[in-house]
Amino acid sequence: MATARQRLLKEFKEVSRSKPNDTGITLIPNEANLFIWKALLKGPTETPFEGGTFELSINVPEQYPLVPPTVRFRTKIFHPNVHFKTGEICLDILKTAWSPAWTLHSVCQAVMALMSDPAADSPLNCDAGNLLRGGDQRGYNSMAKMYTIDYASSSAAKAAA
């Protein structure tokens, strides 16, 4: 646990120095528990998520960085690799392809890359996966954009607060 705490403190220092505007990622540790973090991701440009801000919950195990964190979307999102109800993310680095070289920030970068380039062949949201697999990019984009407006826009965030 001491190793995980040292690593998280180091990551916190690095995150504190970086500007969220550069990456679109803001990482915020829980004040009472360094093993619980929140991330705010700006929707990647030229995607149906552009203009939205998406909140992730990050729970870091005591075995970190040898074991990956549990990362879930707290903001509802229409995406084939995100479970509609739980926010679970289907991403290999959070499961079998984890490496201690990954940081919480690089995990967020990988989630943003997944938002830009969904993998329709391993869907947790079958509706989104079926639209993409069926070649209905326009249908997928319009659903994803609608969810972004309803759940991830600044007016949606104010309504939820």
Query: What is the C-alpha to C-alpha distance for residues 161 and 157, in angstroms, rounded to an integer?
Result: 6
Largest interatomic CA distance in the chain: 49
Residues 90-113 have pLDDT tens digits of 999 999 999 999 999 999 999 999
The number of C-alpha atoms within 13 Å of 153 and in the hemisphere containing its C-beta is 10
> Where in the sequence numbering do the catalytic residues fall?
90
Residues 117-139 have pLDDT tens digits of 999 998 999 999 999 999 999 99
Mean pLDDT over each residue of the chain, to the nearest integer: 93
Query: What is the C-alpha to C-alpha distance for residues 79 and 74, in angstroms, rounded to an integer?
Result: 13
Q: What is the pLDDT of residue 17?
A: 82
Q: Which fold has domain 2-154?
A: Ubiquitin Conjugating Enzyme (3.10.110)
Q: What is the pLDDT of residue 15?
A: 85
Contact 118, 81 (CB under 8 A): yes
Per residue, what are the HEC states of the chain?
Answer: CHHHHHHHHHHHHHHHHCCHHHHCEEEEECCCCCCEEEEEEECCCCCCCCCCEEEEEEECCCCCCCCCCEEEECCCCCCCCECCCCCEECCHHHCCCCCCCCCHHHHHHHHHHHHHCCCCCCCCCHHHHHHHHCCCHHHHHHHHHHHHHHHHCHHHHHHHC
- What per-residue string of b and e applies to 62-96 under the rule 16 or more CB within 10 Å gives b? eebbeebbebbbebbbbbbbbebeebbbbbebbee
Q: Please state the pTM of the whole predicted model.
A: 0.92
Confidence of residue 23 (pLDDT cuts 50, 70, 90): confident
Spatial CA neighbour of 108 closest among 13, 51, 24, 52:
24
